[in-house]
Chains A and B, each alone.
Chain A
Amino acid sequence: MTLSPTQRRGLIGAALLSAVLIAIGVLATYFGSRYQIRIVYGAYVNLLVVIGLQIFMGNARITNLSHSAFMGIGAYVAAICVTPAATKAISLPAAPFGLNAFSLDPVTSAIIAIAITALITALVGLFIVRMTPIGATIASLAVLVIIHSIFLFRTDIFKGNQAFFGIPQVFSLTSIIVVAVIVVVLARGFRESRWGVQLRASADDETGAAAMGVNVARLRLIAWILSGIVLAIAGISYAYFLGTISARPFYFNHVFLTLAMLILGGMRTVTGAVLGTFVISFGLEVVRWLETGPVVVGIDLPEVLGLSGVVLGLVIVLTMAFRPQGIMGDREIEDIFSKTK
């Protein structure tokens, strides 16, 4: 397979981003406390979500608000498959279809979770990709609410807002760094592929791209499903580390958080997705600390509950107002190091 110069640059960019991801991970592993490692792990889970979001939003330039729900599907399917039958007999006594009577190894469970998430995204995608961008965004919001309602009220399968516990904790920070590197290469590869370029062209000028024989709906569907697969991987990584999941983390707050990350960093590039995730993940830790009313250089700051929500909202508003293309705009990481004319 021959690569175009742009694709070769993409590979270099993906390698640079991977180096950053590995560096952050190694620093956290060797110098971080248990608590800090959890924070960094959480940042990597969100990184997978934001990259999953970027694959569709950044290339098709259609806002998606249902992504956290697809992450949830991945997490729940993997959890149901992998949790030992003995645990499920206690936690899901009334589960239908014999869901509490079997258990599989983590790899098989993950594959099943990805396959089922891909199937559901494909079905939803068939409708989404034929809508206008605004229609698709509103429909995606409805999909989020539908899936969340199912998680919440089919307590016999998902346990709703109670903890679904007993998931084997097979993932470490190292595992998710490996996964993140693979996903970054995948996302960058898609962006620079023929499909990615055609999809971005259709976002620029749908009629123009169509006149060139670009099948816009098909390309959107491909990106949508690929995005769903990455979201499933994010959900699985989340479940395999924490060991417990519930419906709440796969809803509005998480949609909003990850959306803010992508918007701040810049949705058009994979670099933007990575940058936005880390800036907000680590920035929010500082904000949460300020929320508690700490003493800084002798000044006793007041307790400000809800500050993180305000800050997150402000990030979206201010970015949209002053730099709608995000910090990175159209630049990928390699463009920073080699100036384009």
Chain B
Amino acid sequence: MVSAIKIKDVQVSYHGRSAIEAIDLTLEQGKVLGIIGPNGAGKSTLLKAILNLVSIDKGVIEIFGEALKENRKRIAYVPQRNQYDWDFPIHVLDAVLIGTYPILGIFKRPKKKDKEWAYECLKKVRMEEFAHRQIGELSGGQQQRVFLARALAQKADIFFLDEPFVGIDATSEEMIVKLLKDLRDQGKTVVVVHHDLSKANEYFDELLLLNKQVIEYGSPQQVLIPEVMRKAYESELSFLYEVGVN
């Protein structure tokens, strides 16, 4: 089976300063990958590079063995929650319905069966009773669930989520983790940019520890060991140490 994502020697820079460099990664299908690392390690940049939202200076990125543009409709992306204008005049169900747009293509409008499918996806995140609320009326966790529902509506094969657990309640977090694992069990691939290390070993099959470069890539057992983590978090730890001393 072809790898879900294959990255070779990728470098991205902003205004001449490199954000990530020499990135190599091969992710097989049917895995949940967590991308972890300190602030400014380039986690979101890597995600954006894979999604072609930033241009890469060099290297190769393949999705299912091809360039991204051949496989755009097999990708679902859930951006960070702060990306949205939560006052936008849109109801929850309509926001989920947007997930059907990529498959519909230009000119075609969502029909009844698309609306039913969107509602179906909303049920999977147990948000159906909020279907006709404006999106800003929801709590952070509920908003995140709605955007996961939208990703589900896309019927994608790879799911990218950028910091989905930031500022959400425990119930929502649990539900999202379970849904992501269900997707994996159906053979889908899930990539999550993750901030909090405490539950990383429960949530992910594989971890990519990043600090501008790949520090370590492997199973949680391989990555979540003090010697390895220290390499990525050294600067932050020494900073904390200094603060502690003073």
Do chains A and B stick together as partners?
no
